[in-house]
Structure 1
Amino acid sequence: MSKFKLELKSLTTADLGAVLELDKACFGGLWTMEAYQREIDSPNSILLGLFSPLFPQKLVAMGCFWSILEEAHITILAVHPQYQGQALGQAMLYSLLQTSCECGSERATLEVRVSNQAAISLYQKFGFKVAGRRRRYYKDNDEDALILWLGGLQSPEFQETLHYLHALISDRLNNFSWDLANLR
């Protein structure tokens, strides 16, 4: 069985068209082009994408976090609906956490819709715990957000967990014929 190559890379202005298409497919147009450009331009923002030659726009997943002091605040994690359930979300979250560790982050946090059980399950697999709730956080429908928190990113235990997850995610990607050689 042939493998389909995936490439993880930092997103640039040249990728904005693909980023907006993925945002629209996943979130219905959550962020504008200007907002993504600010993320690309900000020294405190890391915006990563997974690219595949299979997909016409080539961008199949993306993630973003803000590096604020010792905290990584994950702001976006998106997988094109056509490719959900194929471990790409796991690969993207792994890459965000690995990158945040390299940036010196001690902890990670994010908000997620209370109804998004698939995302909550993904985050919990990585060790995120519920730290609170933001009432009526999402303005499109006044849905609450759960605040999720993960500490100890620099600890040897978490580094072992990342190593273990790397192997699991690589195997899972292989099951779907994905080859992500540069999963770091």
Structure 2
Amino acid sequence: MPLPISVNTLNLEIQSLTHKHLGALVELDQACFGGLWTLDAYQRELESPNSVLLGSTSSLASNELSGMGCFWSILDEAHITILAVHPRYQNQGLGQAVLFSLLKAAHEHGLERATLEVRPSNVGAINLYQKFGFKTAGRRRRYYKDNDEDALILWLGDIQAPQFTLTLNTWLDTIKRRLNKSGWNLTFLN
């Protein structure tokens, strides 16, 4: 009878990012987007009182970001501006963890809804957002300047509705199970 295989669990920590993460933010941006945002842009996000910038690190390399997400608080809306998972960590549930954390933060900030733009060709991202209840609300023509691709506008409402807290708890359980299958244990840091 074969011996069971031991799987080492890594801690996946989601936290608010600070200026000490600037270099890691730019490295992750470069790996995921080829340099979409600059160091100055990330610095402005960190300094803005209307911006929430979260990141995920692992117990293996706490100085490296495995994922990040950002939203702007505009009136009663969380406008998600960026969501990225390093290519070597994709398809392990980290994107779900970062998106969950953004929506939880939006709920805690008292925001009513969340919105974002996504390329129609980014099927993986669209599937992720739809898992979390986002619906297509419109299209921005020729939104992406690199290739003039349109953007789909996705929308999630009722973040302050009483049932949203239950939805968050359900998502958290599902995400933890998914991450655990990939060898991750999710924790949240302040």
What range describes the TM-score normalised by the shorter chain of this pair?
A: over 0.9
Q: Is the 8 A contact 1:95 1:183 kept in 2?
A: no
Q: Which runs of 5+ in 1 are unaligned?
A: none
**1:102 aligned to 2:108?**
yes
Aligned twin of 1:172 = 178
Aligned twin of 2:30 = 24
Provide the identity percentage.
65
Aligned twin of 1:145 = 151
Q: Which runs of 5+ in 2 are unaligned?
A: 1-6
Q: 1:80 aligns with which of 70, 78, 86?
A: 86
Once the two structures are TM-superposed, the CA of residue 29 in structure 1 deviates from its matched residue by 0.3
- Cα distance change on mapping 1:49 and 1:56 into 2, 3 Å: closer
Q: 2:97 aligns with which of 91, 97, 110?
A: 91
Of structures 1 and 2, the larger Rg is shown by: 2
User: What SS class does the counterpart of residue 163 from structure 1 fall into?
Assistant: helix
**1:163 aligned to 2:152?**
no
The separation in 1 between residues aligned to 2:107 and 2:113, in whole angstroms, is 9
User: What SS class does the counterpart of residue 9 from structure 1 fall into?
Assistant: strand
* TM-score (norm. length: structure 2): 0.93
Structure 1 segments of 4 or more deviating over 3 A?
none
Once the two structures are TM-superposed, the CA of residue 58 in structure 1 deviates from its matched residue by 2.0
RMSD: 1.4
Return the letter of the residue paired with 1:83: Y
User: What SS class does the counterpart of residue 187 from structure 2 fall into?
Assistant: coil
Once the two structures are TM-superposed, the CA of residue 161 in structure 1 deviates from its matched residue by 1.3
Once the two structures are TM-superposed, the CA of residue 68 in structure 1 deviates from its matched residue by 1.1
Q: Is the 8 A contact 2:15 2:189 kept in 1?
A: no
The separation in 2 between residues aligned to 1:55 and 1:27, in whole angstroms, is 21
Superposed, which structure 2 residues align to 1:35-46 within 5 Å? 35-46=41-52
Return the letter of the residue paired with 2:88: Q
User: What SS class does the counterpart of residue 5 from structure 1 fall into?
Assistant: strand
Aligned twin of 1:67 = 73
The separation in 2 between residues aligned to 1:103 and 1:138, in whole angstroms, is 29
Once the two structures are TM-superposed, the CA of residue 157 in structure 1 deviates from its matched residue by 2.1
**1:115 aligned to 2:121?**
yes
User: What SS class does the counterpart of residue 77 from structure 1 fall into?
Assistant: strand
* TM-score (norm. length: structure 1): 0.96
User: What SS class does the counterpart of residue 66 from structure 2 fall into?
Assistant: strand
